[in-house]
Structure 1
Amino acid sequence: MNAAKCRAIFETLREVNPAPTTELEYSSPFELLIAVLLSAQATDVGVNKATRRLFPVAHTPRQMLELGEAGLSEYIKTIGLYKTKARHVIETCRILVERHGGKVPAEREALEALPGVGRKTANVVLNTAFGQPTIAVDTHIFRVSNRTGLAPGKNVDIVEQKLLKCVPHEFLHDAHHWLILHGRYVCKARKPECWHCAIETLCEFREKTPAPQL
């Protein structure tokens, strides 16, 4: 995809949604980190239901440590893989207290050293909590990037690097959220809803889905 078309896509997405953000609910970098850790193989809706009960009780690393794995598990047991996630959260909180003064670090290396935190989770935190121009390629961004021709690639690392090169700098901070939301609500996995897609004329996907017959 050429640079002019790429720019046009993000200009259009900005017109549709001038201030995109994550659908995870949080009020601090720590709460965001925990919400993202819990969101692996889970929906934002499911995570929000759990954290609405959890965060009023434990919204700092020390408070989370006081809950312990068993206590935390009671709040997140509706989320998939909750036992593993509880262990990772408690281990992460211990490291935050011991090495970072109870604060979430704003450096990739330190974030990725936390249990359960990979490149994607680190990118979400760096982008959403600290305003850094990173792109966390999840299943939605991977699909949209390949389907539209925006940044095709065989794996998430290739797609991420292509996006970082092709997305104009002014759009880099919000590109992550625009692409996720577009994939979640319009460019869906099984059947993209091309008939009401704002970037349909810019998209290079050949098998456009026609509008349903009423």
Structure 2
Amino acid sequence: MFQEPSLDRTRRSRLTRPDSGRFETRKARADEPIPEARDVRRIAARTPVSEVMSWGFPLELGADFSVETVASIFIENDIMAAPVVDGAGRLIGIVSMADLLREYWDDVETDEGPANLEAGFHSTRLARAIASEVMQPAGIAIPSSTPLLHAAALLASGSVGQIPVTSETGMVMGLLTALDVVRWLTRAEGLDVPLQGDTRERDARLAEIASMR
């Protein structure tokens, strides 16, 4: 069986991020601790997803939001998906950019108007699709206290692209994505990677949800 050769700690390279914002490679010092995979795994087992999930976007999309409104929110906030809630704030599904593209191409490929209209008549679509019509039903959601290790394994399985995170009362708190996990892993390796969104918004949202219990 092939075995990876052991590396001299004094020769192992690591990535650093200087003030210029560019990445460079340097050699690790002999006395510098190098994170081991098992150490990261142990930390991930103790880290709740509430400390990792995305916060820098509107946390809730109304079920009656038009696809145009959803698309505008995605573009303005540079996100690819968001949870959809009902009037009581309960999670009912997730809308992703892929869902919006699917709706767009279905419209392009479908003949929506009657053929052979008489002169002077035209057809107009009365209503566009709304979020509840294009979303994927919420098949899974995890509590905010779920260990990151378990959530990451679920994302890695490929069965879901993002996971809604809820409070103890079922209120949507955020969305955990694969990119969130990658950001966390990168920070665990010592690189300076900013959190998604403003932490002040996250803290305010946590306080709001806590007051609803």
With structure 1 as the length reference, what TM-score do the two structures score? 0.26
Relative to its length, the structure with more helix (as a share) is 1
Relative to its length, the structure with more strand (as a share) is 2
With structure 2 as the length reference, what TM-score do the two structures score? 0.26
- Larger CA Rg, structure 1 vs 2: 2
